[in-house]
Structure 1
Amino acid sequence: MASPQIILYTNPNCPWAQRAHIALKELGLPYEEVFIDVEKPREDWHLAINPKGQVPTLSYDGTIITESGIVAQFLADAHPVTETGTGTVSKAGLLLPLNSLDGAIQRARIAYFVDACVSKVYPVLVGIIMNGESHNTSTERLVDVIEKDIEPLLALTSDEGRERFFGGSESLTLAEVLVGPFLLWIFTLVKTEYGVLSGDLVSALQIRAPRFESWGARVVAHESVRHVLDEEWVGKSLKGRWEGAVAKRKSKVEE
């Protein structure tokens, strides 16, 4: 079977677009990349492909797929895992077999998990950056929401001492694809050269949300996830926004 012709209209620094990059890398699919400058008005040719002007947009043998979660889900469904002759699952996809009850259960659990991360953790993270929150406040807020809403959902990420991915998978699942870009933010912003998040965040997570801390570190170290990160750009860009918000808050207090 010939490889599909894939064109990805993207901005690699956008965390939503990074979802598509991670999925394509993990699936080993070749693709053409067309850069979209999200800081400028969209050109007519791009709006003809995606009227919303968003990234990512995927052209798959001429069929247009939009919205990051849908793009990643489509790629996983179009390239499902297969059973090998030994009864094990080959690393040819991101989900359990598509036509099985176990696969359906896994996809439901992944959907719930990703929704929890995007609706609970991501807003807190963005709020910290845009509001210039102090290290003490931001650490407490992040750890609280992760401990309450995310940690219980990661019960199967270890098995008899073996570290695994979501649901006990030995390879990446759609959960890591969809959440990975935001984990990259967290584990970048705690570094001392950026300092948006406190260095104490990791130790606090190790105590109160050890599954998340261990799982998150594995995810951001994985090549399929790691390759999308321009760490200097992310660190300096988000640090600049956070410092600007800190200065704005300080000026209001002094008025």
Structure 2
Amino acid sequence: MASPKITLYTNPNCPWAQRAHITLKELNLPYEQVFIDIEKPREEWYLAINPKGQVPTLSYNGTVITESGIVAQFLADAHPHPLNETGTETQTRAGLLPPSNSFEGAIQRARIAFFVDAWVSKVYPVLTGVILGGESHGASTEGLVGVIEKEIEPLLLVSAASGDADSFFGDSETLTLAEVLTGPFLLWIFTLLKPEYGALSTELISVLRERVPRFASWASRVVAHDSVRHVLDEEWVGNNLKARWEGAVAKKEGESKEKEDE
């Protein structure tokens, strides 16, 4: 099967756009990349392609697809098995999503969708709140571990029927769409707990291992996977998010001092 003509309009430092990069890497699909500067107003030519001006936007044989989760799922559905270097399908590995034409496949797809929704609606707001709210290490550790303990750890327990500690979501031996769609934000967490960035406590990983061991093990495997990690500019992400967190901390301290002086 000939490889499709793929153009990805993207900013690789955007975690939502990174979802598309991870998918394309894991499926071994060649593509052309067009950089979009998301710090500036979008140019008219790009708004003609994607009126919202967001990234990523995928052009697949001339058909335009937008929204990161939809882009990733489309690619997973269009390429149910990874392609090798010659562009032929291989059955030696599973795809990112199981087919939906069986009960088991439909259930697994539903579980992946529910898992990703729990992450985006429950965990992501806490993570961004830590950064933009300048949360202390103690508060951020408890906030993140608490929401993961309540919303994510039970879903990983349910998804792993065999109890294999070395698998990905649902006992998969390879990445699934669950890892693709959460991976960029897991990279944030594992970057920000490093001492040189310090927006999260260095003790966070040990607390995760103690209270949510399946999540800690799973997340460590995800961020170490080449398809996920290849998209990370750690220095840019770490310094950018550190600056936002430090700015929020300084703002809180300034507001607190103002109240004391009143």
Q: TM-score, normalized by length of structure 2?
A: 0.92
Structure 2 residue 208 is the aligned partner of structure 1 residue 205: yes
Kept in 1: contact 2:165–2:217 (CA 8 A): no
Task: State the shift of 1:93 in Å.
Answer: 2.2
Structure 2 residue 241 is the aligned partner of structure 1 residue 243: no
1:162 to 1:116, Cα distance in 2 relative to 1, 3 A: closer
Kept in 1: contact 2:76–2:95 (CA 8 A): yes
Q: Quote the Cα distance in structure 1 between the aligned partners of 2:237 and 2:160.
A: 28
For 1:217, what is the secondary structure of its paired residue?
A: helix
Kept in 1: contact 2:20–2:72 (CA 8 A): yes
The amino acid of 1:192's aligned partner reads P
Q: Say which of 104, 109, 116 aligns to 1:114.
A: 116
For 2:173, what is the secondary structure of its paired residue?
A: coil
Q: Say which of 167, 179, 183 aligns to 2:182.
A: 179
For 1:9, what is the secondary structure of its paired residue?
A: strand
Percent of matched pairs sharing the same residue: 74
Kept in 2: contact 1:165–1:215 (CA 8 A): yes
Q: Say which of 186, 190, 193 aligns to 1:190.
A: 193
Q: Which residue of 2 aligns with 1:126?
A: 128
Q: Quote the Cα distance in structure 2 between the aligned partners of 1:11 and 1:92.
A: 28
Query: What are the Cα deviations for residues 142-174 of structure 1, in whole angstroms up to 9, with x where unaligned?
Result: 000000110001114484655100011000000
Aligned residues: 250
Structure 2 residue 228 is the aligned partner of structure 1 residue 225: yes
Q: Quote the Cα distance in structure 1 between the aligned partners of 2:246 and 2:195.
A: 14
Task: State the shift of 1:98 in Å.
Answer: 4.1
Q: Quote the Cα distance in structure 1 between the aligned partners of 2:186 and 2:97.
A: 20
The amino acid of 1:119's aligned partner reads S
Kept in 2: contact 1:157–1:215 (CA 8 A): no
1:102 to 1:63, Cα distance in 2 relative to 1, 3 A: same
For 2:152, what is the secondary structure of its paired residue?
A: helix
Query: What are the Cα deviations for residues 118-162 of structure 1, in whole angstroms up to 9, with x where unaligned?
Result: 001000000000010000000000000000110001114484655
CA RMSD of aligned residues (A): 1.5
Query: What are the Cα deviations for residues 65-86 of structure 1, in whole angstroms up to 9, with x where unaligned?
Result: 000000000000000139xxxx
Task: State the shift of 1:46 in Å.
Answer: 0.3
Q: Which residue of 2 aligns with 1:85?
A: none
Kept in 2: contact 1:81–1:96 (CA 8 A): no
Q: Quote the Cα distance in structure 2 between the aligned partners of 1:58 and 1:91.
A: 25
Q: Quote the Cα distance in structure 2 between the aligned partners of 1:218 and 1:152.
A: 18
Task: State the shift of 1:101 in Å.
Answer: 2.0
Task: State the shift of 1:223 in Å.
Answer: 0.2
The amino acid of 1:200's aligned partner reads E
Query: Which residues of structure 1 form unaligned runs of 5+?
Result: 83-87
